Amino acid sequence: MSSLADTAALFADRTRAAFCEALLDGRAWTSGELARHAGVSASTASEQISRLVAGGLLAEERQGRHRYVRLAGPEAAALTEALAAYAPGTPRPRTLRASVRQDAEARARTCYDHLAGRLGVDLADAMAARGLVDTGSGIAVTPAGRAWLAETLDFRQPAGARRPLVRTCLDWTERRSHLAGALGAALCTAALERGWVRRVGSGRAVKVTPAGSTAFGELLGVEA
């Protein structure tokens, strides 16, 4: 029980929570970047990052004088997103810029290494409707889904892989689930590499391109 309390305590600080939410974009940030994002001093950022690393939520990488951190893995990302989804409500943005960013993230964004927001939920619904994933008892990829992954995304899960092929991730803006796991990561990777979506600014938001609108429509019947 103490381990649960210790982990929960890591999110009980606004600065640490802001760091974890920012890192949901799946990229590595420097301590200085996180400090500016949260509006705290460099010393405060360094202290709070150290606590998150010690608690197992962040992983640290050093390149020369620079200290980079990222979420420790899919489990840390899922925990952060789930807690955000259980929050009583999204705070109202204080500036027009923040409002625009929040709206963009609600439409489509990355959640660690998979797609989230309305786009992510729509893709999850479409894959279930087409029989690519089965949600009857939990969630699982069907034989048709495995063939679709291989043929469409050129993805085959390696034998003995520890990461689940698919799992649900509660979306904090939609309050419904999008798809994570290896399937979610493969779809997000393909969308970025093939130009179906592109990142917007320095945050988590992504925008569906004309090519993506066509691809999502033809492949899954999703109007993006």
User: Where do the domains of the chain lie?
Assistant: 2-72, 96-220
Torsion of the alpha carbons at 217, 196, 72 and 53, rounded to the nearest 10: -130
Burial of 153 (0-12, 13-18, 19+ CB in 10 A): middle
pLDDT tens-place values along the chain, 224 residues long:
458 888 889 999 999 999 998 898 888 899 999 999 899 999 999 999 999 999 999 999 887 777 799 999 888 988 888 888 776 655 666 676 767 778 888 999 998 899 999 999 999 999 999 999 999 888 999 999 999 999 999 999 988 888 899 999 888 888 899 999 999 999 999 999 999 999 987 778 999 999 999 999 999 999 98
Q: For the CA atoms of the chain, what is the radius of gyration?
A: 18
- Which residues, other chains included, contact 223 with Cβ-Cβ below 8 Å and sequence gap of 6+? 213, 216, 217
Secondary element (H or E) of residue 217: helix 210-220
The Cα-based distances of 118 to 2, 29, 207 in angstroms read: 36, 26, 12
pLDDT for position 98: 67
pLDDT for position 92: 62
Whose CA is closest to 221, among 110, 127, 134?
Answer: 127
Under 8 Å between Cβ of 20 and 83: no
- Residue 109: other Cβ atoms inside 10 A: 26
pLDDT for position 93: 60
CATH of 2-72, one of 3.30.43.10, 3.20.20.100, 3.40.50.300, 1.10.10.10: 1.10.10.10
Separation between Cα atoms, residue 184 and residue 165, nearest integer Å: 8
Say what the pTM is. 0.75
The alpha carbon dihedral of 81, 85, 87, 89 has a sign of: positive
Under 8 Å between Cβ of 118 and 125: no
Whose CA is closest to 179, among 194, 164, 190?
Answer: 164
